[in-house]
Amino acid sequence: MSAEPRIRVSAILRWQESVLLCRHEKGDREHWLLPGGGVNSGESLVDALHRELAEEVGIHDEPPVEGPVAIVDSIAPVRSFAAKHVVHIIFAGDLSGRSLEAVTSRDAAVRGHRLFMAEELDEISLHPPIQRFLQRWTPGDPAVYLGALWAP
């Protein structure tokens, strides 16, 4: 029996020429994720995104977001221990007019935050791995990136 796909919303949060990412740890490995998380039943995508931004980044004033700007389907390989299927719906927001000194997290899974320049993205473990999209995407671009990850 297979599990139902999970829906995850996240945001490309630009600050000047950088993107804000959240650091997670799994075992002894470090992973970087766009801030966001799961959508609860009955919750709109934008409401879920604003809730997750408050939890993971400490942004409580519901910044304007555009999108979705990307949709990525992550399907774990069959050989994996547990079936995993996540649909990532990615929005975008601009934090350039803000101070990021107050960036904090109430989420125990988040181990820190960092701003990354586009040229640094290939050097990190980003989940989902959308480095190429982030390097070529510009705010206001109407194109939606559709991708499949881990698919056979």
Q: Does residue 139 lie in a domain region?
A: yes
Q: Does residue 97 lie in a domain region?
A: yes
Mean pLDDT lowest among 53-57, 142-146, 148-152: 148-152
Average pLDDT value over all residues in the chain = 80
> Which residues pair with residue 127 across a beta bridge?
33
Q: Which domain holds residue 139?
A: 9-69+88-144
Whether 151 shows a pLDDT value over 60: the answer reads no
- Dump pLDDT digits (tens) for 74-117: 887 766 566 788 899 999 988 877 666 656 656 556 677 888 88
User: 95 near 47, Cβ under 8 Å?
Assistant: no
Alpha-helical runs (H) found in 15-130:
45-57
Hey, what are 99's tokens?
A: 């101070």
For residue 32, count other CB atoms closer than 10 A to its CB: 18
Closest CA to 68 of 46, 87, 36, 91: 91
Q: What is the pLDDT of residue 42?
A: 96
Q: Does residue 4 lie in a domain region?
A: no
- Is the overall model pTM greater than 0.85, yes or no? no
